[in-house]
Amino acid sequence: MAAIQPSLWKGGLFGCFGDCGTCIYGFCCLPCMFGENSSKIRNSGCFGPCLLYYCCSCFACIFAGNLRGEIRGKYNLPEEPCSDCCVHFWCSPCGVCQEARHIAACGNNPQGAMTMQQTQMTAPHQQQAPQY
């Protein structure tokens, strides 16, 4: 039987500079990156979420926070003291970049982010009675 343990984000919220390509893309075209993240998690197109972020960025903490919650759910990430909406209210570019790095590191496979502890159980050995 396998026990699923919560995993952690594949990089810190302010770890953008560890992956300069993601950092530059996220800060130059944040709506596009948000749309790509959304399409990978929701298996849908990226144009709608991209347009939503572009036109309604003042409400990003609501809809981007919602997507962050979906990402946490899919990859079994623990909820943090700073809620998903707060991350996108205070530093949405850092949040979107962190999400993109995590999705890229784990792929679209939620098991890629989980730590599995394997427990093996076996039946006790039975001895046969000697025959005379």
In a domain, residue 53? The reply is: yes
Secondary structure (H, E, C), 25-84:
HHHHCHHHHHHHHHHHHHCCCCHHHHHHHHHCHHHHHHHHHHHHHHHHHHCCCCCCCCCH
In a domain, residue 2? The reply is: no
Q: How many domains are contained in the chain?
A: 1
21: which residues sit within 8 A by CB, 6+ positions away?
A: none
In a domain, residue 68? The reply is: yes
In a domain, residue 77? The reply is: yes
Which residue's structure tokens are 């599995």? 116
Say how many CA atoms lie within 13 Å of 48 toward its Cβ: 7
In a domain, residue 45? The reply is: yes
In a domain, residue 122? The reply is: no
Range of the domain at 35: 15-107
pLDDT of residue 122: 60
Grouping H, G, I as helix, E, B as strand and the rest as coil, residue 107 is coil
Q: What is the tens place of the pLDDT at every residue in 54-107?
A: 999 899 999 999 999 999 999 999 887 668 899 999 999 999 999 999 999 998
pLDDT of residue 117: 47
